[in-house]
Amino acid sequence: MKRTIWRCFVLSCVLGLGLWLGTGAAPGASRPHYGGVLRVETRATATDLNSPVRPLIYENLIRLDDRGAPQPQLAARWETQNGYRRWQFWLQPGIRFHDDAPLDAAAVVASLAWQCPDSHPAAAPEEPALSGAKGPGAPSCEWTALRAAGESVVFDFAEPRPRFAQELAQTRYAIQHPGDNVPPAGTGPYRWSEARGNTRVLQANEDYWGGRPFADRIELLPSRNVRDQAADLALGRADIVEAGPGQLRRLAKERTAVSLPFTLLAVVVRPAKPALQDVRLREALALAIDRAAIHKVVLQNSGEVAGGLLPNWLSGYAFLFAQSGDLARAKQLAQELGSAPVLAIAAAGSDPELQLIGERIALNAHDVGLVVQSVTNPQQADLLVTQTDLASLDPAVALAALAESFGERLNGRAASPQQLYEEEHALVSQGYVIPLAYVPRICALGPRVRNWTVAPDGRWPLEQVWLAPGEAAP
């Protein structure tokens, strides 16, 4: 089964890469060029954990390769003892934060203690609080002790944690040095420089331990809607823009890069109303949704329909989850419920595609006798249309992170595809999360961009991008 999953994974990578290789990729004979300003527009905010530029600034102890295997990043090596209950990581020597503070074991302990307020680190140094940096989305870290030991960092757990190295590669565990910096300093190839109105400027880290990046600066315009991004690209005001999944056909004449489908679109059920605690109502809603129509009409066949929480290229068993509705069964359940309450559905954020999905779900519910109304305020919604990126290329870690984002906890000890499937099936069968589709991260490239690659998990390796000389920005 593992061999089959890997073959599917490789094929998906080839297909994803082929989408941009066939749309005007730069000639291979071009020589790399240092300098210039790379102009990037994204749909996410600059500090969002899912922002494609965040890994340029903040790095992790561990990174994952394209197969989901842990590789050194800020940590040079590691080992585990006591039946996976203790993990020790030795740091790369000589690395410094952007504010010139040394990356040592005490700094790593302080960073993780600051980011994980619910953890129980032993004698972690205190750091100044950063206004607005923490909130309900802060991770709850499950180690029982965290300490510096020479040039290494030691984590202790009450229970075995066999995949902790893979867990540490998640963006939420990126190492930062808060100090007096807002935002905090990182160790990556680019550093925060300045803000110009809505534009955030990233400056090349001349002393980056992994080698200087090509572009001198990145001018980032975050929270940019799709229509404005398309106009800026066409008029030469942007070099790279992030498109929505429904925009791929409109960008047919542009150079595009498409990741594997790694963003889950789903409906999250908020059980505040007593009626929503009845599993029959949640099941009726799930069976009423026409996922195929949403995939075809709203998403323009981008990505894939989802019946489960993990995409098939990652889990290998997604086809076991039902991806189509059952109107007859949904109507029967609605009749059993009698007088069901009026439910409100909204999109998380202001994404127009999520809003359209919510409107279509309201129509689907009407067809089986349920009343769902589309609203604009997410705080008033009983049903919330969300999008959540995979946190890891390791399927067990990715599923645990998805479950946590929906308010559930997994034990993280699934050691086989069968056990992983059983955990996922248990989550989906509760009906509090209704998977809809998996979509890729899509970006369009201007004529100056060279040496672009696309990672399976959607990361943008902008430190490798260089700008063609003689094609200056207008």
Residue 234 covered by a domain: yes
Task: For residue range 290-341, list pLDDT tens digits in order.
Answer: 999 999 999 989 999 999 999 999 999 999 999 999 999 999 999 999 888 8
Residue 81 covered by a domain: yes
What residues make up the domain containing 111? 58-173
Residue 251: its pLDDT value, please?
Answer: 67
Let me know whether 155 and 209 are in one domain. no
**Phi, psi dihedrals of residue 107, rounded to the nearest 5°:** -65, -40
Residue 289 covered by a domain: yes
The position carrying tokens 């934060």 is 97
161 closest CA partner among 402, 396, 412: 412
Structural domain tally of the chain? 3
Relative to beta strand 442-445, strand 255-258 is antiparallel
Domain end, chosen from 173, 202, 231, is at: 173
Asked if residue 17 has pLDDT above 50, the reply is no
Residues 284, 66: Cα–Cα separation, whole Å = 39
CB 368 within 8 A of CB 325: no
Cis ω for the linkage preceding 32 (within 30 of 0) = no
Residue 317: its pLDDT value, please?
Answer: 95
Residue 449: its pLDDT value, please?
Answer: 95
Let me know whether 206 and 157 are in one domain. no
CATH number of the domain enclosing 94? 3.90.76.10
Looking at the chain, the whole-number percentage of residues with pLDDT higher than 70 is 85
Task: Give helix then strand counts, H and E, for the chain.
Answer: 11, 21
Mean pLDDT of the chain: 85
Relative to beta strand 240-243, strand 37-41 is parallel
Which pair of structure tokens corresponds to residue 77?
């090596």
Which pair of structure tokens corresponds to residue 203?
């400056």
CATH number of the domain enclosing 242? 3.40.190.10
Let me know whether 365 and 346 are in one domain. yes
Let me know whether 289 and 404 are in one domain. yes
Asked if residue 10 has pLDDT above 60, the reply is no
In Å, what is the CA distance from 470 to each residue of 238, 444, 447?
17, 21, 11
Residue 224 covered by a domain: yes
Residue 144 covered by a domain: yes
Task: For residue range 94-123, list pLDDT tens digits in order.
Answer: 999 999 999 999 999 999 988 886 554 443
CATH number of the domain enclosing 366? 3.10.105.10
CB 437 within 8 A of CB 265: yes
Kindly provide the residue ranges of all beta strands, DSSP E only, lying in 244-311, ordered along the sequence. Answer: 255-258, 263-269, 304-305
List of residues 6+ apart from 278 with CB closer than 8 A: 337
| Ordered DSSP codes for 398-440 | HHHHHHHHTT----S---SHHHHHHHHHHHHHH-SEEEEEEE-
Let me know whether 297 and 332 are in one domain. yes
Residue 181 covered by a domain: no
Residue 453: its pLDDT value, please?
Answer: 81
Residue 181: its pLDDT value, please?
Answer: 67
Let me know whether 8 and 83 are in one domain. no
Let me know whether 222 and 236 are in one domain. yes
Residue 183 covered by a domain: no
Residue 182 covered by a domain: no
Residue 256: its pLDDT value, please?
Answer: 85
Let me know whether 328 and 433 are in one domain. yes
